[in-house]
Chain A
Amino acid sequence: MKRVAVIVAGLALALPADAFAKGQFHPEEEWNLRDWVPIHLGSLNLSINKAVVSLLLAAVVTMALGIVLMRVRLKPTPDRRQTVGETIYEVAQTQVAEQGLPTKAIGRWFPYVASLMLFIWVVNMIGFVPLPISDEKFHVAGLAIPTFAIFAATSTLSVTITLALLTFVFTHYEGIRWNGPVKYFKSWIPDVPKAILPLIVPLEILGQFMRLISLSVRLYANMLAGHMLILTFIGLIFVLENVAVAVFGLPFATIFYLFEVIIVVTIQAFIFAALSAIYIGSAIEPEH
């Protein structure tokens, strides 16, 4: 088994000789989404590109994870698989839902925040698994195979802003549904002297939209910066055109890779779900 892995790795390094071609290094090319299956509805561009493929893959994996870990063959004495499922469920319930949502709303919004957490975790995680969804090709025995690249769909702004928009819409929908429009929008205005209200109210309204930006940019920038760092450390070999750079470039890239996979991926999924729960909860039960 080990020998096979070594041979495969050696072949993968030796065959794509053009990967070691000297020249320009453009890490930002990775985020150029080229249309693979063009679908245009008027001015709407719904083409399938690599971000869409990785999102679809993530959706399938999320559903499979949920069904396999939490639905199939449940026993009173859990085995390892069921323990993993129960741990995920418990984190989603005690750390995410119960921290943010009021008790009366948990039944309705627990599924949303829990699936948000699992889905973002899977999307982030797929972003760190080298998959053959790339625009570049290498040739083996006349076959053009896409290079194995790491690309997270969450490192494109449109994906994260869509998820943030979902939370944004649900927040205000729930706020209005539970409190009525007048009471809800009144709850945005804090208790301050009347004189400075014209100053505070625009800031509060702006703050509601800043939530949208901070929620989406946090996830986006984290994943983008993580991939950029790994790419840059490996790319130094090509920028300086010296294989000796690999001696320190690769270990640093590996350290960042492990940091991202072990800590950042999970934290970002958790934080997105927890903040969604807190925002929805604070709209359902405004403090004042």
Chain B
Amino acid sequence: MIGLLAAAKGNVDAGKAIALALGIGLGSLGAGVGIGNIFGSMIQAVARQPELRGELQGIQWLGFALTEAVVFYGLIGGLLAYVLI
């Protein structure tokens, strides 16, 4: 009985770990696409108008940080769920 309970507890922990990893993985999928988009557009823009590089760079890093932060919202949410439940 105790063995079964321990196994169930272990399963719950394993399930939580899988859920956390899956959640962060899927979260980073979206952010990966977004960051790729930003840098791709930046390359195109600079290729078309190299003289705008300086101005575009500020906007590029702003967009990069805003997109990248989405992964960490997922991470914090996942960690919260992992710790609280």
Binding site for B on A (CB under 8 A): 95, 99, 214, 217-218, 220-222, 224-225, 267-268, 270-271, 274
Inter-subunit contact A271/B61 (CB<8 Å): yes
| Alpha-carbon separation in the docked complex, A29 to B62 (Å) | 32
Residues of B within 8 A of A95 (CB): 58
**Chain A interface main SS type:** helix
B31 at the A interface (CB under 8 A): no
Contact of B65 among A99, A220, A224, A271 (CB under 8 A): A271
| Alpha-carbon separation in the docked complex, A225 to B69 (Å) | 11
Inter-subunit contact B73/A217 (CB<8 Å): yes
Contact of A225 among B62, B66, B75 (CB under 8 A): B75
Residues of A within 8 A of B62 (CB): 271, 274
Closest B residue to A215 by CB, please name it: B69
Closest 10 CB pairs of A and B: A221-B72, A271-B65, A218-B69, A95-B58, A267-B65, A221-B76, A225-B72, A267-B61, A225-B75, A222-B72
Residues of B within 8 A of A225 (CB): 72, 75
| Alpha-carbon separation in the docked complex, A220 to B80 (Å) | 14
Residues of A within 8 A of B75 (CB): 221, 225
Inter-subunit contact A218/B58 (CB<8 Å): no
Nearest CB of B to A154, in Å: 13
